Structure 1
Amino acid sequence: MQGTKARPSAAPSPRSRPGLGLAMRFALREMRGGLKGFYVFIACIALGVAAISGVASVSRALVEGISAEGTTILGGDMSFRLIHRQADADEQAFLDGLGQVSRIATLRAMARVPDTGEQTLVELKAVDGAFPLYGTMELASGAALADALALRDGHHGAVVEPELLVRLGLAVGDTFRLGRAELAITDTIATEPDRLSDGVNFGPRITISDAALEETGLVQPGSLVRWIYRIRLPQGTTTDEIATLEEEAKAAFPRAGWRIQSRAEAAPGLQRNIGRLAQFLTLVGLTALVVGGVGVANAVRSYLDAKRPVIATLRCVGAEGGFVFRVYLMQIAVLASVGIVIGLVLGALIPLAAAGALAGILPVHAVAGIYPAELGLGALYGGLTALAFALWPLGRAHDVAPRLLFRDDVSGEAKRPRPAYVIATVATVTLLAGLAVVLAGDLRISLTYVGATLVVFALLALIARLIMALARRAPRPRGTELRLAIGNIHRPGALTPSVVLSLGLGLSLLVTLALIDGNLRRELGQSIAAQAPSFFFLDVQQNEREAFDALLAREAPGASIDGAPMLRGRIAAVNGVPADQLTPSEGGAWVLRGDRGITYAAQKPENAVLTEGTWWPADHSGTPLVSFEADAGADLGLKVGDTVTVNVLGREITAEIANFRRVEWESLAINFVMVFSPNTFAGAPHTHLRTLTYPDGGSDEREFALLKTLSSEFPTVTAVRVKDAIEQVNDLVAQLAWAIRAAASITLVASVLVLAGALAAGHRHRTYDAVILKTLGATRARLIAAFALEYTILGLVTAAFAVGAGTLAASFVLTRVMDTGFTFLPATAVGAAVAALVLTVGLGLIGTWRVLGRKPAPVLRNL
């Protein structure tokens, strides 16, 4: 109406509200002062992103390397593997029709030097003239393989790994015995193109010709020999065409029992292990990010605390809380982007460094390159982590009145942000956890990890509050230093939550890994070694069994001798469903992969305990029956009365499950997943397995003397000395443990960064305290003692929690996942306590020393 004064609006209209552009301009202008206070923020994000993207990129580089070198690793475009027997005439004709064929035989044997008595277990490979179809077998002298394996002066040639020369004290040109043949060492192996496809090796490699293998007499009916037929297909054959050929082979020979591989899956075992290790290391990297998230929250809170005058000024001139939130959210986003970019650069460089480091460890070349998907995964994790931990402190600045911002130094009020920010924080954390579960691969492990991390995080926050509450209610001590230390623990703005959260997760992870490593070493070096047999003897022929047992009884009086018939076979079907169509859990998949050792027995083995069903009569002659290992049967979803079809020597035999039994694998006694009734394999050629156990554990002298006698009287029997095998496994566990601990140290580095950042953020309050106390007469020595006591208390409490949480986690992994025993190791607890004390006291006193050096006058003038 005319003459009516316009009323000022209570709130600006949506059009007049500051937009994102203005918020971005304010954010960038305020960042002109530099990144002071955010170096820990950027370092934490960069470290976690680099770990995740680097691990994922290395895994991808190795998998790409396996794919790129598939034909060389496999030794052909296709591979057909048989156990115990060679391909028959029809099968050989089919293979010849596919392309060029190379036949290889692999087995374990004993190489010995009669003159010195030295002998060792070796991995033997017998090749034909077509080997290798792909790649090059390089010898140290540069000679051709065919010339090195040729018959000269009555001896077949053999090329060996240099390790064999060291073990037996030989040199090129010397001779040694293998089975019943005497062979001459003509050269050493420099590179073996198909080494990766041969699986785990327990001894140095020896390569001979197939003619030499026949002369050794090692191949007998039922001998544990793997016959591998590799095919070089016509050039241009596609992966789809190879898959079609594989189906044709299965259809034409459904009972052949051969394992077929293509160049696309040249090393499935290695690929699985790479994937599992990558999953674990990704979770370690995510732990580093979560720990770093505490540093993010500390940095944001400290930064906003320093910006209170600016925020108050903005609020006083009419800026809404939402605008303030957007300004500082954009700053955090820019800083997080800097950390993410640094982490991505480091993550992209890691595969280049790893390619050289892994070249001498893995017989496959990593295809180093830039992998956008893997880098994107690290960036996504980093961005979500920064957002999840920044939303809460940013949200608190939304509704804080200017008067409280100015008083925050004194009041220490810490209000909860409005519900929208709480919901946003919870949603972001849920998204981060869901991403970890979905992308980690193994659902059970990832769920356990995420759940454990959330529980530990919540417990650490609860413990920090409990420490502060106890310190607040503790009686006032007489000592000034201790009274001041306890007061610092519970006062407003105390460092207690930051110290406990930052160190707690990192130390808990390291304690967990150290306890798992220590228990595995103890199990291998003490428990297993104490109860394990001294020897395993393989390929004892049926006609040699009684004489062999008599020799053992004569040469090792008082020793315990055990034995069982030994065959190898593959599970072809379960309840009529082909094995390749089954989808078992990860825990049961190993039973269906490759061939398994199987046996038969009239009586229940002494070391087995039935969990379900009954054992068959000794004279059972009806339907073939089988006893299945209980855990493996549960993983496959089997029950009594189900059927299992195994392929042995090219024959498929279906047996009904009569019972399940518990097996103690850690005893290293004679154990099998499947034990059949004797009528199942009536008339089938097979060898026998024997174990020998000295009651007092034996000695090197007695064991070596027994080996020498056996090798001369039974040259075709393979002896495996368990001490040597355990030592090799122990070395492998040690190498893996060092690699895992090195990766887990990333989390500890993040913890140290966060701790340093938290201490730095508290220096302003410590400066005020120190100046006022010095003004009142406190000496520097008393102040240092008070701060040292504070840091010592926090370090000890954090270490105690880390030991407790790490012990529970390690116990769960060892007893529930690895199905082994657990023993608490006190040295690990002491190590964790020392680490916590050194970090908290050391870093704390370094920062405190700088605080104590401040002049009182400038500080007092600004109070």
Structure 2
Amino acid sequence: MIHWRFLLGELRHGGAQAMTFVLCVALSIATLTALNSFKADVHRSLLSDAQALHGGDIIVHSHYPISPPLLQAIESIRQKAGGEWIRTYEFYSVVRPVKGEESLFVSIMAVAPQYPLYGTVELTSGRDFSQVLGRGQVVAAPEVLTRLGLELGDRLQVGSAQLSVVDTVVRDPSRPVSLFALGPRIFVSTLDLEELGLLGVGSRSQYEVLLKLDRPDQAAEIADQLRDVATAGQERVETATTARSQVKRFFDNLLFFLSFISIFTLLLSGIGMQTSLSALLRRKQATIAIGKALGVTRRFLFTHYLGITLFLGLIGSIVGVVAGVVIKWCFPLLFGFIIPPGTALGLTPGPLVEGMLVGLFVVLVFSALPLYRADLIRPIALLRHEQVTLAGRRLPVLLSLVILLFLSLLVVRQLEDVKIGLYFTAGSLAFISLIVIIVTFSLKGVRRLPIRPLALRQAQRSLFRPGNATRSIIVTLTAALAALLAIFLLQFNLVATFITSYPEDAPNLFCLDIQRDQQQSFFSVVGEEVTLFPVIRGRLVSINGEPIDYERENQRRSDTLAREFNLTYRDSLLDDEIIVRGSGLFGERRRDSTMVAVSVLDTIAEIGELKLGDRLEFVVQGVALTAEVTSIRARTKSRLYPFFYFVFAEEVLAAAPQTFFAALHLPRGDIDDTVERIVTALPNVSTINVADSAERLGQLVGRLARVITFFSLFSIIAGCLILVGSVLATRLERLRDCALYKIVGGHGRLVLSITVWENLFLGLCSSLIAVVIGSGVAWSLCWIYFDIAFRMHWLGAAATIAVAGVAVMMVGLFSSLAIIREKPMAFLVRQAE
């Protein structure tokens, strides 16, 4: 039976400890609730508009003209199942005003009058898209007119044709956000394709057939039929619900990464719950001991303190869910540059209920150890001032395993990937274990330091007072600061490498789709004979006879074996290449082998787990090609320089239809003039101003870094709550120390300086270790994953140390003010009572 007066009395006197506990619970689920609710809104918006996003119920995609058998199958199905289909063509090129010298790299989409089959291309004029776009006309993104200084009615040079700009696009359902594209989009009519002259042999074009069915529920069945006809490894058939657009992949990856940070915050908040609840129960130690001495049963006390914990947890869960909703409503300020227009941010009950349940379960899991410790308090502890120890007991180990299992399940649920979830759990444990080891040895060293000044010496001893959570505080703050610093350093190095500190000899203008018979003309236009790299597009279809699992590969969040590769041929290494396995490009092929030789880049070899002698089967423009891995290459420069995953001997691919790629390094002031000459003489050649693209990339990286930093700050707040909880947990010891200092003649400034030095040490120690670990993590990512040189940002590291040290000192000092101001007589009177 619950004794309500006792329960309410304990809640009323919980004070700051109860408030800290509630804040930790709220913090643990606030970001998770906000993210899950936002994720549901985005997915619901994208999935509900999936047909408009992809353009049809069934999408056939290829980098080559759609094969006649597949077109015949599509028409046959249309006649049987009902519906309609259209063809679209998308490619990149440089356009310029007929009267003007400016030029712009754009995405060109050639469509039929029926486009789009789903959704509506909204125009500035409000007219119907199908009635506006016709032969000799262009509908462009507003950015095209702005950057080229055009007005409606002006003529635009697109390839070999001159087209009139007749309207601008307000919203394109197939491109809800344009931040992922290399250039703005313009629409042209398929009637102008031949006159444009941009679909040459081997050009980088995307051919699609969009099929709209009278019965969309038949899409999966019909897609399976079309896959049987499609050219394997060249033509991809998907439905609107299974196709993954670039927008979907971006949001999946971004929310996936933010989920990491939210789970990390939950873990730190859980530690804060344990610390603050321990402080609350430690304050009730006398009440528990007296109650047991007077005959109160352990069950009564455990039930009531469990009730207090659950009640506070319920309040914290409600606050956390409300805070999550508030955070979510701030997302347009954070994500406004990437949220697709029309995405409704609503209050769906699913994520909110899930947040409440997760919050209560988090409370149960992380409160188990403090409640168990309180249950072990004996009446004699009141007289002996004993500290309850859990050493040698099995239940705490079992509870720790339960916590680990809960976190693993939560991670898997949040990331929606069992393998990655388990890897993340293991990685987090390894990361925190490393910090714990470093902190443990650091504290042992600090404890042995011979310190003479009285304030510093007493601050040193205060760090190791019984019940003080010094190690937990430093571990938590270190983990949060290390994550923030690693993100900052990674952003700094990416921007420094690709934008602000562009390598002097790195190319800054890429020229694509140069035809075989245009080589001399291209040399004449650019004024020199630059290196031309042959490009033949092909797909990898099997490894050692095992077909590539395209569905699984498309789920990868990094590079994938399912995409179409740019193959090339040559007989020597590039200047920035070395052989890491094998001797020479093609020197290890078996004499009795009937297969051709291929050299593989180490990055793709790691993805496919390739080794020397492996048999790879490619489909190159419909022709099967089997090759044997004879060498594995690595690169010594960053990815700003040209590279190819697969390199063949010249005699293997020289006769294949191909285009050529050139990477030029020009003075920044000469890039626009060179592009103008190339567009005028060779309109089919696409040029990419890498310097301009790098600037836009830098803006995107900066915005994303701010989003990530916003979520990482919650981890810092969790660390501060642990610090507050530690101060509250050791309140009695701190009161006693302050009283004794003052009784023996110590003045208030001495007590204040001891408190300042103690908390300053916590902040400095945490930030110093965080700088070491965060720098190591950023260096590893730069070296292993991004393949770029690492540069230390010493000002950022110094700012981390200084800001963290001062911030932790201020939080600790503010939490201790009431203790510092306590009069010795008041403390002695309470002790006498």
TM-score by length of 1: 0.87
Extract unaligned runs of 5+ from structure 2.
none
Partners in 1 of 2:350 and 2:395 — Cα distance? 30
Select the residue among 38, 47, 70 that pairs with 1:91.
70
Give 3-state SS (helix, strand or coil) of 1:391's partner. helix
- Kept in 2, the 8 Å contact 1:46–1:342? The answer is yes
Q: Name which of 214, 222, 239 aligns with 1:245.
A: 222
**2:132 is equivalent to residue 165 of structure 1:** no
Distance change >3 Å, CA 768–CA 467, structure 1 → 2: farther
Structure 1 segment 817-856 matched on structure 2, within 5 A:
817-856=785-824
2:530 to 544, 549, 561: 561
One-letter identity of the residue aligned with 1:102: I
- Work out the percentage of aligned pairs sharing the same amino acid: 26
Equivalences for 1:582-621 in 2 at 5 Å? Answer: 583=552, 590-613=559-582, 615-616=585-586
Matched, 1:579 2:548: yes
Q: Which residue is equivalent to 1:178? A: 158
Return the letter of the residue paired with 1:339. G
Give the conservation status (yes or no) of the 8 Å contact 1:159–1:186: yes
User: Judging changes above 3 Å, is the alpha-carbon distance between structure 1 residues 445 and 835 closer, same or farther for their aligned structure 2 residues?
Assistant: farther
The one-letter amino acid paired with 1:166 is T
Counterparts of residues 68-467 of structure 1 (less than 5 Å): 68-85=48-65, 87-97=66-76, 98=78, 99-113=83-97, 115-151=99-135, 156-195=136-175, 200-234=180-214, 236-238=215-217, 241-255=218-232, 257-321=234-298, 323-347=300-324, 354=331, 358=335, 361-363=338-340, 365-366=342-343, 368=345, 374-375=351-352, 378-379=355-356, 381-408=358-385, 413-416=387-390, 419-436=393-410, 438-439=412-413, 440-441=415-416, 446-447=421-422, 449-455=424-430, 457-458=432-433
- How far apart in 2 are the matches of 1:207 and 1:585? 29
- 8 A Cα contact 2:561 2:608, kept in partner: no
- Alpha-carbon offset, residue 796 of structure 1: 1.4
> Could you tell me how far 1:650 is from its partner in structure 2?
3.9
Pair 1:144–1:648, CA change in 2 (3 A): farther
CA displacement, residues 637-682 of structure 1 (integer Å, 9 cap, x when unaligned): 3344444333344444444444332246724332222223334445
**How far apart are 1:466 and its partner, in Å?**
5.3
* Structure 2: distance between partners of 1:367 and 1:251: 39
Query: What residue is the counterpart of 1:15 in the other structure?
Result: none
Any conservation in 2 of the 1:74–1:197 contact (CA below 8 Å)?
no
Deviations 1:456-492 (A, max 9, x none): 5456556666566555544351x33333323323333
Contact 1:126/1:207 (8 A) holds in 2: yes
Matched to 2:489, the amino acid is L
1:604-643 to structure 2, matched below 5 A, reads: 604-613=573-582, 615-616=585-586, 623-643=595-615
Q: Which residue of 2 aligns with 1:3?
A: none
Q: Secondary structure at the match of 2:812?
A: helix
User: How far apart are the structure 2 equivalents of 1:400 and 1:34?
Assistant: 19
- Rounded Cα–Cα distance in structure 1 between residues aligned with 2:732 and 2:241: 61
5+ residue gaps, structure 1, are 1-20, 555-559
Residues 139/768 of structure 1: CA separation in 2 closer, same or farther (3 Å cut): same
Point out the more displaced range, 768-777 or 561-570. Answer: 768-777
Q: CA RMSD in A?
A: 3.3
- Give the direction of change, closer, same or farther, for the CA distance of 1:788–1:607 in structure 2 (3 Å limit): closer
Structure 2 CA distance for partners of 1:92 and 1:585, relative to 1, 3 Å:
closer
Q: How far did residue 26 of structure 1 move?
A: 5.3
- Largest Rg, 1 or 2: 1
Matched AA of 2:393: P
Q: 1:740 to 1:401 in 2, by over 3 A?
A: same
Q: Which residue of 2 aligns with 1:516?
A: 490
SS in structure 2 opposite 1:49?
helix
- Is residue 707–residue 719 contact of structure 1 (8 Å, CA) maintained in 2? yes
CA contact (8 A) 2:106 2:185 kept: yes
Partner of 1:701: 669
The AA in structure 1 aligned to 2:116 is: P
Shift of 1:115: 4.0
In 2, the alpha carbon distance for the partners of 1:589 and 1:436 equals 23
Query: How far, CA to CA, are the matches of 2:656 and 2:41 in structure 1?
Result: 46
The secondary structure found in structure 1 opposite 2:126 is coil
Mapped to 2, the partners of 1:826 and 1:52 lie a distance apart of: 33
Moved more, 307-316 or 338-347: 338-347
* SS of aligned partner of 1:211: helix
How far apart are 1:764 and its partner, in Å? 4.7
Q: Any runs of at least 4 consecutive aligned residues in structure 1 with deviations exceeding 6 A, and if so which? A: 585-589
Which residue number corresponds to residue 543 of structure 1? 517
Aligned-residue offset at 1:803: 1.4
Secondary structure, aligned partner of 1:107: strand
1:46 has 2:26 as partner: yes
Alignment match, 1:9: none
Q: Give yes or no for contact 1:384–1:428 (8 Å, CA) kept in 2.
A: no
For residues 708-719 of structure 1, what are the structure 2 equivalents within 5 Å?
A: 708-719=676-687
| TM-aligned CA distance change 1:603 to 1:400, over 3 Å | closer
The answer (yes or no) to whether the contact 2:313–2:363 under 8 Å persists in 1 is: yes
Q: Contact (CA 8 Å) 1:23, 1:326: kept in 2 or not?
A: no
Q: What CA deviation, in whole Å up to 9, does each residue of 1:175-201 have, x standing for no partner?
A: 221222222222211011112599941
What amino acid is aligned across from residue 814 of structure 1 in structure 2? C
Code of the aligned partner of 2:52: T
CA distance in 1, matches of 2:233, 2:815: 73
TM-score normalised to structure 2 length: 0.89
- Preserved CA contact (<8 Å) 1:294 1:501: no
More displaced, 320-329 or 750-759? 320-329
How far is 1:788 from its partner? Answer: 1.8
- Deviations for 1:79-113, whole angstroms, at most 9, x for unmatched residues? 1122143x354433322232311211111111123
- 1:582–1:266 distance in 2 versus 1, CA, 3 Å: closer
1:8-31 deviation line (CA, Å, top 9, x unaligned): xxxxxxxxxxxxx45888546633
Counterpart of 1:480 (choices 434, 451, 454) is 454
* Matches of 1:657 and 1:582, distance apart in 2: 25
Deviation at residue 526 of structure 1 after TM alignment: 5.5
Distance 1:844 1:229, change over 3 A: same
String of CA shifts for 1:25-59, please: whole Å, max 9, x gaps.
85466335566521111111111112123222322
The 1:456–1:330 alpha-carbon spacing in structure 2 relative to 1, beyond 3 Å, is farther
Q: Is the 8 A contact 1:111 1:122 kept in 2?
A: yes
User: Is the Cα–Cα contact under 8 Å of residues 502 and 751 in structure 1 kept in the other structure?
Assistant: yes
> Which shows bigger deviation, 523-532 or 208-217?
523-532
CA distance in 2, matches of 1:769, 1:857: 13
Stretch moving more, 684-693 or 399-408: 399-408
1:500 equivalenced with 2:474 (yes/no): yes
Q: Which residue does the alignment assign to 1:491?
A: 465
What is residue 5 of structure 1 aligned with on the other side?
none
- Output the CA distance in 1 between the equivalents of 2:561 and 2:463: 58
**2:28 counterpart letter in structure 1:** G
CA 1:376/1:612 → structure 2, altered by over 3 Å: closer, same or farther? Answer: farther
CA, structure 1 residues 628+372, in 2 after alignment: closer, same or farther (shift >3 Å)? farther
Return the alpha-carbon distance in structure 1 between the equivalents of residues 349 and 127 of structure 2.
44
Q: Which residue of 1 aligns with 2:661?
A: 689
> Which residue of structure 2 lines up, in the alignment, with residue 6 of structure 1?
none
Residue 599 of structure 1 and its aligned partner are, at CA, apart by: 2.3
Give the 3 Å change call, closer, same or farther, for CA 149–372 of structure 1 in structure 2: closer
